[in-house]
Structure 1
Amino acid sequence: MKIKQILRGLLFCLGIVGIIDTVLLLLSNGGVNLGTILPGTGGGLLLILVLSKSFFQKIISLGITRPWFSKTRLCVTSLVLIGLISFLVVEGAIIRDSRPDPVVEVNYLIILGAGLNGEQLSWTLWERMQKGLEFLESHPQVQVVLSGGQGPGEKISEAEGMRRFLVDHGISDERILKEDQSTSTMENFRFSKEILIRQSNFQNLARVAVITNDFHLFRSKMLAQRNGLSPVGIPSPTPWYIVPNVYLREYFAVVKSLIFDW
């Protein structure tokens, strides 16, 4: 009995933490997306489960003698286990690929867009551009493809915002190629590839450096490969306070890309 009480207490606390996490991110303009909404939704469900213990016990006691109940419970349990296993496998791959790849010689760098506030770089995109600037300064022979279209709340394309940042920091416009039509990671690489194949010194399956956030590298490299590129991952850091949210959201994004992004 004591163990059950401890478990209920832990679930209750976890539910409260999930709700607080969602509220704080929404108040800090974290945006409405899976990463911000799921912790609060899950937390709410946990609270309902804990606070409605007697209700669920009554349902179970009524259904446990019925044949359909055991089949339904087996089906739900199987789906939960499959979901848990897939979550662990995918998150393991995301974490594994969040580290930088060994440095190799490349002729091109692709920096993926990450949103603008009007004409100003979002914090996430600023971090990516800092990494890109460091790389371009230390590899003066490399050209860069800036990939990102124009979305809601953006006065210019992400590619143009990134171009301005690099030019303001001393990178020659001649080294910059803009891809300003993409609205997804898949399109980032599809449209960037179309630009690259028009370059005289580019070959199919050539190595290209890719800069994006650490949690986004696994999916980015997978989609780059689907578009005939050989990516070398360079991660930019993610603020610690949104790490659980973005890694959770990325699981669903990876599943979506595995199925639909071809």
Structure 2
Amino acid sequence: MIWILWLTAVLCVVYYIIIAVYSGLATSFSLIWLFIAALCMILTGGWEAYIRHKDKVPLWVPVSVVTMCCTGILVFAVVEILVFTGVAAGDTSNLDYVIVLGAKVKETGITKSLKKRLDKAVEYVDKNPGTILVLSGARGEDEPVAEAEAMRDYLVYNGVREEQLILETRSHSTVENIAYSRVAIEEDQAKKKARRLNSPGIVVPGAFEEVPDKPIRVGVLTSDFHVFRAQQIAKKWGIPDIYGISCGSDPVLFIHFCVRECAAILKDKLVGNM
């Protein structure tokens, strides 16, 4: 038990250093790895003290600690299983709209995560030219331009028609991405309906009967670890039949993203976002 805890602590510190050097995430959620390392060291010291003074320590103390640790590991495992149910998607062809979620934009250009999402978007519209892409993401305080604008520039440069793109530049979180993108889709649908009403064409009386508008099909495109949460938020915020389209993520940061996503899912569930 002790050597497992020590090994875990060492691996967490090493991984923290790797991701800090690799992507400059030292001041963000990556500090969780130092926290886990410290926790493992505390548990190691506590276990050694319990072994030396077993007769003086009430049984409920080690039982409570082990129960909490096992519960935490179980919750993490269940959430991660749910996360990767979002990767296995059904038929996502010929969707009316696909919401492409933004990611950080640096002074030097788009990040690797955002590039993977955009490359997947290019691949998707090549196969489904009738789909409209909703590019979602505002400008952060440390970003040179809005994420949606950087996404548009990349997609247009790679051959996507600009009239095939809708920009949503107000959102700063996944919840806002979905909520404002839904508004953008509804506004686009209203414009299309108004154009149809203003240009009815020639109609022969009795030659047709009016039918209700066909339900639109909406998808959300994001990184593999992020699809499940995006879908659940969309269902909560008025897009019940949302299709998930996943792209790969950075292999070096993959474990970090999975841990961060677990925390984000628990938070969003707790505050009622999903």
- TM-score under structure 2 normalisation? 0.82
- 1:195 aligns to 2:184 (yes or no): yes
Q: Which residue of 1 aligns with 2:223?
A: 213
Tell me how far apart the structure 1 counterparts of residues 46 and 266 of structure 2 sit (CA, whole Å): 32
**Deviation at 1:58?**
5.3
Describe the shift of the 1:14–1:29 C-alpha distance in structure 2 as closer, same or farther (beyond 3 A): same
Q: Which residue of 2 aligns with 1:18?
A: 12
The one-letter code of the counterpart of 1:116 is V
Task: Tell which structure's C-alpha radius of gyration is larger.
Answer: 2
Tell me how far apart the structure 1 counterparts of residues 175 and 74 of structure 2 sit (CA, whole Å): 26
Judge conservation of contact 1:150–1:180 (CA < 8 Å) in 2: yes
**Deviation at 1:166?**
1.1
Select the residue among 67, 80, 93 that pairs with 1:91: 80
The one-letter code of the counterpart of 1:227 is W
Q: Which residue of 2 aligns with 1:3?
A: none
Q: Which residue of 2 aligns with 1:4?
A: none
User: What RMSD over aligned residues (CA atoms) do the two structures have, in Å?
Assistant: 2.4
Deviation larger for 173-182 or 82-91: 82-91
The one-letter code of the counterpart of 1:218 is F
The one-letter code of the counterpart of 1:33 is S
Write out per-residue CA displacement over residues 89-140 of structure 1, whole angstroms, 9 at most, x where no aligned residue.
2111112222343234311111000110026111100110000011112211
Deviation larger for 146-155 or 204-213: 204-213
List gaps (5 residues or longer) in structure 2: 194-212
The one-letter code of the counterpart of 1:214 is D
Identity of paired residues, percent? 24
Tell me how far apart the structure 1 counterparts of residues 129 and 258 of structure 2 sit (CA, whole Å): 33
Tell me how far apart the structure 2 counterparts of residues 131 and 115 of structure 1 sit (CA, whole Å): 17
- 1:33 aligns to 2:33 (yes or no): no
Deviation larger for 119-128 or 52-61: 52-61
Describe the shift of the 1:80–1:14 C-alpha distance in structure 2 as closer, same or farther (beyond 3 A): closer
Tell me how far apart the structure 1 counterparts of residues 77 and 94 of structure 2 sit (CA, whole Å): 33
The one-letter code of the counterpart of 1:14 is T
Describe the shift of the 1:261–1:52 C-alpha distance in structure 2 as closer, same or farther (beyond 3 A): closer
Judge conservation of contact 1:119–1:155 (CA < 8 Å) in 2: no
The one-letter code of the counterpart of 1:15 is A
The one-letter code of the counterpart of 2:28 is N
